[in-house]
Amino acid sequence: MDGTTSIVTGASSGIGSCLSIALADAGSTVYAVARRPGRLAELAALNDRIRPIVADLSREDDRQNLVAEVARRSGTVDVLVNNAGISRITPAVDESTADFEQILAVNLVAVFGLCRDVGRLMLAQEGGGSIINVASIVGLVGLGRMPQAAYAASKGAVVNLTRELAAQWARKGVRVNAIAPGWFDTELTAELFKTEKGTEWVNRLTPMGRAGRLEELCGPVLLLASKAGSYMTGAVIPVDGGWTAV
């Protein structure tokens, strides 16, 4: 990854922080994007290749300014990791249309907007680029017992958006893939993992018998981001301890 430029969204905690460090450790200059400047500053202190950018990705002008700023500072974008996302546990019969639309705005519309805007840069530059969307096992299978219709709908849409963009851009050198994480202890899943019952539920239903460790997402992302995955596009890789295999 030496000499490459990467953008990672949702970088202020959890998966985004871990992937930012992994890409920077591999040699990429990483523009780490989130809404919390303090968290981003702490992240940037861990590796001098990490450049923090504060942005609210639900706002189209913030997204466009982000892409323009990275292009101005680095000239190219080689890797985009769309990781930012929100979730809300609510039975579908109680979920308001406004809440549903808010989750789709962050988890789907913002992902499409960044794919499109960064994709334009990648399509115009020699060597193309790699876009990696962070979907979820909830985009592949239903859960029911943890009701989150908007989140499931958004991640299912990200899965097929990934395939469609891969098909459109494959001949032009831009690869688009996704990972589908299973259960990892992050801010989004804090309520689940803070209880013994929740942890036991994950351990019992995951074939590997445990939740994932954040660093276990780094290998698949580095594969997709680098030349090691140069013949991969349109792939959706579950990183879930076997959850979607049974």
Count of positions (residues) in the chain: 246
Distance in angstroms (rounded) separating the CA atoms of residues 36 and 136: 23
What H or E segment, with its residue span, contains residue 6? strand 5-9
Give kind and range of the element (H or E) at residue 108.
none
Quick one: tokens of 101?
Answer: 């639309």
**At residue 145, does pLDDT exceed 90?**
no
Share of the chain above pLDDT 90, in %: 91
Tens of pLDDT, residue by residue over 153-193, are 999 999 999 999 999 999 999 999 999 999 998 878 878 88
Per domain, the residue ranges of the chain are: 5-239
For residue 231, indicate whether it is catalytic.
Answer: no
Q: Which of 31, 100, 151, 243 is catalytic?
A: 151
Residues 220-240: pLDDT tens digits? 999 999 999 999 999 999 999
**Which amino acid belongs to residue 97?**
T
Q: Which residues pair with 32 in a beta bridge?
A: 8, 52
CA dihedral sign of residues 53, 58, 62, 66:
positive
Structure confidence at residue 144 as a pLDDT band (50, 70, 90): confident
Name the 3-class secondary structure at 130. strand
pLDDT in tens, 86-121: 999 999 999 999 999 999 999 999 999 999 999 999
What's the CATH code, domain 5-239? 3.40.50.720
Band the pLDDT of 194: cuts 50, 70, 90: confident
